[in-house]
Structure 1
Amino acid sequence: MAGEPPLLRVKNAVEQSVPDVVRSWLVRLIALVVFIAVWLLIAGLHLVDEKFLPSPNAVWDAAVRASTWHQVAPGVPREVLGEQNYFLWEHLVASLQRIFAGVGVAIVLGPIVGFAMGMSKTFNTVTEPYLNFLRALPPLGYIGLLIVWFGIGDTSKVWLLFLAAFPAIAISTVSGVQGVSRDQINAARALGANRLQVLTGVVVPASLPEAINGIRIAVGFAWTTVVAAELNNGIPGIGGLAYLAGQQLNTPLTIACIVVIGITALLLDALIKWIGVLLVPWKGKV
């Protein structure tokens, strides 16, 4: 319209010409650029001591150093690889292996227990208090006990990640089963479906979206627990490296590890969302 301000006309024109997905990514990119610019400004003006907030360049250099062969110290010809004798990607892969082992078992057992709790009131009554008790415990609350039981190797770490992921998956599955419409179940029974057919043809498809959402939450929570899991003997491991770098006041490397952990979390979440779309294309359509 002729009476619209120029900026508003430009905004409306952009919204009409740019698809929603592209516009969403542009907004995110602009926000990231602004964030880095503010970070550079704060670091450049030395508003915060570099021990607490190093510049983006220092963080990048730390990431490059952790990913390449480099001299032990300036002027010393001897070279070492990465950090703690592992490249940064090797630390990341080690943590992902622990995540896949612990969360993988939870993804198998969680839905089974959740479906059993949702279908049996007796089993639900017996199991629910213990499941909620386990869900309420912070990981650091029982990491010491797991180390006593299983030692400081990977077994205790895998158990910790399993216990972090299992409750969320089971509880979400229970919620999905209990949320199945009674009308759908009664309609299936009226058409002659037996108990197994009702379970596989109605209950499982209807509750699967909640189960997948629980897996998504569980993977995110387990990934945030990776630092706690790698507090002891966590090398190689991205969480263990972040913890060790913090102890050594190597703030650039600590932030580099945090960035890697965060980006990996986003990619894992996007992967699970994509798998969910493939497995439950009927979600939101019925």
Structure 2
Amino acid sequence: MKEISKKKFSLMVLLTWVILLGIWWITTNTRLIDSKLVPTPQETWRTFIDILKHGYNGMSLWKQLVDSFYRMFIAVFFAIVTAVPLGLLSGYFVFFRAIIDSLVQFYRPLPPLAYYTLLILWLGIDDTSKITLLFLAAFAPIYVSCVSAVSRINKDYVLSGESLGANKQQVFFTIVFPACLPQIFTGIRTAVGVAYTTLVAAEMVAATSGIGWMVIDASRYLKSDVMFVGIIIMGITGVLLDFILRQIEKRIVFWEE
């Protein structure tokens, strides 16, 4: 994008949020919407400051965030180190695809809560079942992106490498893997988003900490201000995570725009 278009884009983003905040302020302060359902921006801010200072249910906000991110980062890490090689191998070798692809395609459309109860029965109610659930949620998008990336590689690159004497392993690491990196990062960004949304479901059952648990617990007592604080925090941290991933992608995949 040109520099002027970037400025216009940023201005439109800022204007959108200003309008949304303005609508929120007007509808809640004029009592068009019951404050028990939607708190005012002022109430939400005061609740955020209170949680920041005193925590929620005796636990600090930072502890809630650390517990949630610990579960998510461990799950995403193991999803990356397993889904990337398996996805690339499945896209490059039909043998691997025949074994793995059908299994992934079977569980991928299943809602997380559909098999979460089974994970609790098998693994218990501690973090192991939650991390496993997030792992499965993050694995599929990365795997599918890797398989798709391999199928889109220009065959001429592979044939050129083979004609120069490169073996399968050399072609894989010098041609296939670098060519797939842009889509791999797209899959990782998608996986982080899916894992973050699944985090709330994972913390709904038998959890005593985490930002998702805080929102669910507040909903039981109709604490809409706490729910709004938790949702806004999840939204902001989600945007920051995606921004960090895009910056890492720019450094690693430097040949892409």
Residue in structure 1 matching 2:72, options 78, 88, 99: 99
Question: 1:23 offset after TM fit, Å?
Answer: 3.0
Q: Select the structure that is richer in helix.
A: 2
Tell whether the 8 Å contact from 1:63 to 1:88 is kept in structure 2 after alignment.
Answer: no
Q: CA RMSD, aligned part only?
A: 1.4
For residues 44 and 124 of structure 2, the distance between their equivalents in structure 1, rounded to whole angstroms, comes to: 34
The residue aligned with 1:217 is 190
Q: Which runs of 5+ in 1 are unaligned?
A: 1-15, 70-81
Once residues 108 and 10 of structure 2 are traced to their aligned partners in structure 1, the CA distance between those partners, rounded to angstroms, is: 35
Q: How many pairs align?
A: 256
Match of 2:209 among 236, 244, 258: 236
Pair 1:264-2:237 in alignment = yes
Calculate percent identity across the aligned residue pairs. 37
* More displaced 10-residue stretch of structure 1: 99-108 or 56-65: 56-65
One-letter code aligned to 2:228: I
| Aligned 1:9-20 pairs, distance under 5 A | 19-20=4-5
Q: 1:103 Cα shift?
A: 0.8
Is residue 85 of structure 1 aligned with residue 58 of structure 2?
A: yes
Q: Which has the larger radius of gyration?
A: 1
* 2:81 equivalent among 89, 104, 108: 108
Cα distance, 1:163 vs. partner? 0.5
Distance in 2 (CA, whole Å) between partners of 1:59 and 1:235 is 23
Match of residue 245, structure 1, among 218, 224, 228: 218
Structure 2 CA distance, aligned partners of 1:225 and 1:105?
16
* Corresponding residue for residue 181 of structure 2: 208
CA contact (8 A) 1:99 1:223 kept: yes
- Counterpart contact for 1:176–1:211, Cα < 8 Å: yes
Q: Please, what TM-score do these two structures have when normalized by structure 1? A: 0.86
Matches for 1:171-182 after TM superposition, within 5 Å: 171-182=144-155
1:36 is aligned to 2:27? no
Compute the displacement of 1:179 (Å): 1.3
Q: How does 1:157-168 map to 2 (within 5 A)?
A: 157-168=130-141
CA displacement at 1:19 relative to structure 2: 3.4
Cα distance in 2, alignment partners of residues 27 and 88 from structure 1: 32
CA contact (8 A) 1:234 1:241 kept: no
The match for 1:133 is 106
1:35, CA displacement in angstroms? Answer: 1.0
